[in-house]
Amino acid sequence: MYIGSKPADKVLTASDITDGIVSTAKIADTAITNAKLNADIISADTALGAAPADTDELLVSDAGVLKRMDYSYIKAANTPNFWIYKSANQSIATATATAIAFDTAVIDTATGLGSNKWTVPSGQGGTYFLSFKYIWSGTWDARIIAYLKKNGSSIFGMQADKERVDGGVHVNGIVALSAADYLEGFVYQDSGSSRDIVGGSLWNALSGFKLI
């Protein structure tokens, strides 16, 4: 019951609500939706339709403190990886272990090729899978051996049968490598005269990758 006229209805404005007057108890659990949140908030509203980029961020709990982290810190990849070869034919002297003069890379993610060998880059030590192959053209009546060497010492080797026509040798294995270790491929043959290995990535190659 009013004495006199009824007061006019009051429409609240933003200035009528002082800081801190609305408590969390007054906000219903379903009252705030993604549409009411700023576009830069991290949420699961949008699906990622491709593999994460290195700078894509994930949320992690660091001893109870929520932090964001670039995907590059946790992604797994068999890198460095490389595939190098001698681009032209190379003569292999008889009864001499000859280093293949690798000069071209099909793949070399860490730019390790140099001075006819592949060198482990700084910070890339670890366990590697390695492979070395070479193929010859014509009949080689000789003992033919392929060596894969680390820092000048043989780590893998394979001998081919004598009197083979258009043959080849392929050796591979797993080895621990440290930064600055270098890898070379050697060929030995004792036919009595010089022989050529065939140039090109299909015919001779040293390849490998760091295991995850």
> How much is the pTM?
0.69
Q: How does DSSP classify residue 74?
A: T
| C-alpha radius of gyration, the chain, whole number | 34
What residues have CB less than 8 Å from 191, skipping those under 6 apart? Answer: 94, 140, 141, 142
Tokens encoding 145: 């051996």
Among 52, 75, 51, which Cα is nearest to 212's?
75
Domains and CATH numbers, the chain: 18-73 (no CATH), 81-210 (2.60.120.40)
Tokens encoding 53: 């980029």
Query: Are residues 128 and 177 in contact, defined by beta-carbon separation less than 8 angstroms?
Result: yes
Render pLDDT for 134-145 as a digit per residue (tens, 0 to 9).
887 777 788 889
Render pLDDT for 25-76 as a digit per residue (tens, 0 to 9).
878 877 777 777 776 676 667 788 888 888 888 888 889 888 888 887 787 7
